């Protein structure tokens, strides 16, 4: 499900569970691997990558459709671990980076894409919206208008466009993805870790650690829960699972 490899002071986590759908079991395993790396004194940088087809296509919809409102926070909690880590996280993104997969990637510190990376928040097609910080972080990075387009059309963008938007740090050929990730990681691991961690903490405090940030995340999550209870969300999720067009009734 998740393989680990240590090179020097770099921990490389590879998500290798097909399209890496974020089931609760899978996201819990990812959270534990990340937390273990963050507390390991030998590790200074963490790289997270997926497979050739996908970094992650997002939530496991067959689990999501059965969640009760009071179960959603617990189910999503492992995703949020990425945002709490003190060490640099390099996201090596190949293939599809969709929905919750993109939300998790956005919690990293350096994002690298490839010539075959496609990114998007297609939740609107299920009558939902991003539920784990996607609307907030995308607005911070892209501004209102581009975020609106991305979230309301649900269309995917290439890594080249994402890089132009400032969503990715750089784009490389897919065969060079890990080489580039380790090149950056090896540069960082030679630096003073107290200084690196202090820099990350300070930047994160501005980026996503304010009372306004927490208030917005709660508002986003509450809106996600409200939508999940509507008929349209249930229809959207069932239609996707059953591979048919949805028939929304707008309630």
DSSP letter assigned to residue 59 = B
Q: Which of 52, 103, 212, 235 is catalytic?
A: 103
pTM (2 d.p.): 0.94
In this prediction, residue 207 carries a pLDDT of: 76
* Residues 6+ positions from 29 with CB-CB distance below 8 Å: 1, 2
pLDDT, mean over the chain = 95
Pairing of strands 96-98, 110-114: unpaired
pLDDT in tens, 188-201: 999 999 999 999 99
The CA radius of gyration of the chain, in Å to the nearest whole number, is: 18
Catalytic status, residue 103:
yes
| Closest residue by Cα to residue 146 from 129, 132, 160, 164 | 164
pLDDT of 227 reads 94
Please state at what angle helix 134-142 crosses helix 144-153, rounded to 10 degrees. 140
For residue 123, indicate whether it is catalytic. yes
Catalytic residue among 71, 80, 123, 149: 123
The H or E element that residue 120 is part of is strand 118-120
For residues 9 and 14, give the distance between their C-alpha atoms in angstroms, rounded to a whole number. 16
Q: Please determine, looking at this structure, whether the domain spanning 2-171 carries the CATH number 3.90.226.10.
A: yes
As a whole number of angstroms, the distance between CA 74 and CA 63 comes to 13
- How sure is the predictor about 52, in pLDDT bands with cuts at 50, 70 and 90? confident
Reported as a single tens digit per residue, the pLDDT across 66-84 is 888 889 999 999 999 999 9
User: 39: buried, middle or exposed (CB in 10 Å: 19+, 13-18, 0-12)?
Assistant: exposed
Q: How far apart are CA 65 and CA 208, in angstroms?
A: 29
Q: How far, rounded to the nearest angstrom, does the alpha carbon of residue 69 sit from its chain's CA centroid?
A: 22
**pLDDT at position 212:** 82
């Amino acid at each position: 499900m998740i393989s680990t490899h240590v090179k020097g002071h770099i921990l490389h986590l590879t998500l290798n569970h097909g399209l890496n759908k974020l089931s609760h079991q899978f996201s819990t395993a990812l959270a534990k691997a990340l937390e273990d790396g963050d507390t390991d004194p030998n590790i200074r940088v963490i790289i997270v990558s997926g497979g050739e087809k996908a970094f992650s296509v997002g939530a496991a919809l067959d689990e999501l459709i059965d969640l009760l409102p009071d179960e959603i926070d617990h189910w999503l909690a492992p995703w949020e671990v990425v945002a709490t880590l003190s060490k640099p996280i390099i996201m090596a993104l190949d293939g599809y980076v969709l929905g919750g997969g993109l939300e998790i990637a956005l919690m990293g510190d350096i994002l690298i894409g490839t010539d075959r990376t496609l990114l998007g928040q297609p939740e609107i097609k299920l009558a939902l919206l991003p539920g784990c910080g996607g609307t907030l972080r995308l607005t911070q990075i892209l501004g209102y208008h581009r975020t609106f387009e991305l979230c309301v059309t649900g269309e995917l963008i290439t890594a080249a466009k994402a890089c132009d938007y400032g969503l990715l740090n750089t784009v490389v050929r897919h065969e060079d993805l890990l080489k580039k990730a380790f090149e950056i990681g090896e540069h960082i691991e030679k630096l003073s870790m107290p200084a690196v961690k202090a820099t990350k903490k300070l930047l994160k405090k501005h980026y996503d650690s304010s009372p306004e940030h927490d208030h917005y995340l709660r508002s986003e999550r509450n809106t996600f829960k409200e939508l999940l209870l509507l008929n349209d969300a249930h229809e959207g999720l069932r239609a996707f699972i059953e591979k048919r067009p949805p028939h929304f009734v707008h309630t």
